[in-house]
Each structure stands twice: as structure tokens, then as C-alpha cells.
Amino acid sequence: MLIAANWKLYKTQAETRTFCAEFQPPGGVDVVVCPPFTSLAAAVEGGLTVFAQNVHWADEGAFTGEISVPMLKELGVAGSLVGHSERRQLFGETDEGTARRAEHALAASLRVIACVGETEQEREAGETEAVLARQVAPLPRHPDLVIAYEPVWAIGTGKTATPEIAQEAHAYIKSLIDAPVLYGGSVKPDNAAELLSQPAVDGALVGGASLDPDSFGAICRAAAP
């Protein structure tokens, strides 16, 4: 099981150090945290396995506001998220750009969690499978690629997908690509065990509930063997 914390635009370096001092990851679970860029080094120094929240497809160049694979590797970062729905919806990132980011990072031995998921409108229109197929199609096939299924309507809303909805979407994604699939979207200590017990759910990507070391620790323990 892989449990990943997506801190989004939260936690300064000092707050990251405090988290590291308080957080106790259980044995037998692959736990990673994704801090903002300025807190990556503090999280690495705190002894955690650290992923970035995004990575560019070029090692250097005229790409204002981006971060590259060599910059991340120098800090001891082990991987990156790509294609989070907030990147897609608020910053105009595309399926193709997400795939390029994933491909470049994987080729340089970073692990990658590529995020996919439908909006509420797409689900209601019966387009969930078409959207997932479109998002998964350009992604590279690679042993270090993990998919995160994050229905957009469940992110930060407290409206978690039912275990049945998650299982159905994960099974569909696995019919498209041979990769572990994490569930993301309002995962909390009180719903983690049930979601993680679904056969096609291989872990979780946790936003809000990952900011507190106790609640993130409880979710990690729900994934422990």
C-alpha cells in the first residue's frame, strides 16, 4: 500500500519540521509526503520519503515558475505528482503536458503519481469512463508509474466516493493500464479502512487530512498489514 500526503499550498519549512517531529509512520506501508517546493528540503531532512507536487518536462530552459528533475533529485526528492486536478482546472494543464512531465521524470528514475478523475458534471453526463480513458491514454507505461483516481467532486468537499464507486473506477483504470491505483478525495481517518479494503484500491492520496500528523498517521495505520 502507498499512502501519499498532498500538502498543496500549505506548510512553511518551520511547519514541515514540526510535522516531521510529530509524525510516526507505521511499518509495512509506503508513506510519502508532497510538500510545496520550498519545504521539500526540510521534509527530506526530517527523514520522510518526499515527492514534489509537479515537475517539468525539460531539465532547464526558459520556463518561468517551473521546477526540474535535476533540481528535485539534488534535494533527495524521490518522485512527483503530475496532473493533479487543481493543476488541470486552475492552471490549464493538459493531458499531453501531464504525460510529458510523467515521461521525463520516470526516464530520470523519479517515481510518478499521475492524477486522473472526472468532474461532477462529467459523471452526471455518463462520461466518467470516457474521461478516464482520455486522461490515461497518453501516459507512459512504466513500472514506477502509479495512478491516483481523484473524482474532482470529492476533492476537498467532504463528499467521498463510496467504496463501490471507487472500486468500479479503479477496476476500469486497471483495464486501461497495468499500474497501482490510489484513491483520492476526502480520505479521512474514519473512511480510510473501508476504501482501502476494496480489491482494486492500492493506497490513498490524502489532501486536507494529511496536514495533521495524527490524522495522517491514523490513515497510514489503516493501510498497515
For the segment 118-157, give every residue that binds ligand PGA (CB under 6 A): 150, 155-156
Residue tagged active-site, from 84, 93, 104, 170: 84
Q: Which of 25, 35, 184, 189 binds ligand PGA (CB under 6 A)?
A: 184
Query: Closest Cα to residue 155, out of 212, 207, 91, 213?
Result: 207
Q: Which three cell numbers stand for residue 204?
A: 490513498
Q: Is 84 a catalytic residue?
A: yes
CB of 109 to ligand PGA, least distance (A): 24
Query: Closest Cα to residue 135, out of 88, 168, 180, 91?
Result: 88
Q: Is 170 a catalytic residue?
A: no
Q: In angstroms, rounded to a whole number, what is the distance separating the alpha carbons of residues 94 and 100? A: 10
6: contact with ligand PGA by CB under 6 A: yes
Q: Which segments within the chain are labelled E, that is strand?
A: 2-6, 30-34, 49-52, 79-82, 111-116, 145-149, 181-184, 203-206
Q: Which of 186, 191, 198, 215 binds ligand PGA (CB under 6 A)?
A: 186
165: contact with ligand PGA by CB under 6 A: no
Which residue's CB atom is positioned nearest to ligand PGA? 207
Q: In angstroms, rounded to a whole number, what is the distance separating the alpha carbons of residues 54 and 37? A: 9
Q: Which three cell numbers stand for residue 108?
A: 530520470
Region near ligand PGA per CB under 6 A, out of 64-72, 89-97, 116-124, 178-186: 178-186
Q: Which three cell numbers stand for residue 124?
A: 452526471
Region near ligand PGA per CB under 6 A, out of 58-66, 105-113, 203-211, 216-224: 203-211
For the segment 30-69, give every residue that binds ligand PGA (CB under 6 A): none
Q: Which of 132, 146, 165, 187 binds ligand PGA (CB under 6 A)?
A: 187
Asked whether 184 and 149 are in contact (CB, 8 A), the reply is yes
Q: In angstroms, rounded to a whole number, what is the distance separating the alpha carbons of residues 145 and 148? A: 10
203: contact with ligand PGA by CB under 6 A: no
Site residues (vs ligand PGA, CB under 6 A): 6, 150, 155-156, 184-187, 205-209
